[in-house]
Structure 1
Amino acid sequence: MLERISPELMLIATTVIALFMGTLLVVVRSKAAKYPVTAKKIILPPLFMSTGALMFVFPFFRVEPLQVLEAFAVGMLFSTVLIWTSSFEVRGDKIYMKQSKAFVFILIGLLVLRLIIKSIIGTSVDVGELSGMFWILAFGMILPWRIAMLWKYKKLENETKSAVPD
């Protein structure tokens, strides 16, 4: 069925979906700063996202090993910006994400950059393969970011516990 849809229409549809998901991500991340952070809340998103790897069971989504490395490396590069802008603060006895004014703009910038890359390589790569590559890129971005967040969170949690007298 997907073979009958024109590549241009597929590119437009996936771009609209990416814009919707990016907007949803900005809204969710902005609201998340109002609630305390836990290690569970940091760990779960990459675990949930990892189920998306099941797409590679279908040949339509498979990518070459070099493309896997390239996409994951670009994701890791993008994650450095997210790591740089993610920090925590203690309010009362709870740990919260510190709201960064730049964070929303960085997420939007990363989304726009992904859309530009997609429009450039989308004409020369099959849509399924491109979908697989962008899933790998996104996973390569979220995994190091969340590992760094967990490390920062645990460090602040230990500092907070050691600062409280028994």
Structure 2
Amino acid sequence: MNELINQAQAALLSGDLSRARGHLAQVIQQEPLNVLAWLMLSEVVHEPERQRECLQRVLTLEPQNQTAQKRLAALDQPTTVTQAAQPPTPLKLRQPQPIIAPQTPTSATMPPISIISIGLVLLVLLVIAIVVLRGLPETASEQSRVVEGVLLLVSYIRFF
């Protein structure tokens, strides 16, 4: 399916709107919930009503899609004679690129346990840095206390 999207994007960039429409029609037929295909289709149809239908479909699937919101707002503005003669401004598309894996989760989407684990790791690193900066304790009992504290923190981290 991504290959058809890439082919449609290449056709759109080369100005072959008919071929782009054909590829996008295939994608939408197989994946009617494909937001990118609907958005691209709004670029290759000429009739404002068809563009509006495509953009409304995008907003139904993805209500926060800013590109579709802006394009729909532009379609709803009254047109002057000079604007009516001009075709709609196409999306600025990048060259087709392979699909990449999803990004790693951000702190907003990470579970609280992961955040706690990261905090504990940072705490252990801080303790180690303090020990290194202050120097190792001279007596064996002080050294063992520091090592026990670090091991205790490590055991907490393993728990999470």
The bucket for the TM-score relative to the shorter chain is under 0.3
Q: TM-score, normalised by structure 1?
A: 0.26
Q: TM-score, normalised by structure 2?
A: 0.27
Higher helix share: 1
Higher strand share: 1
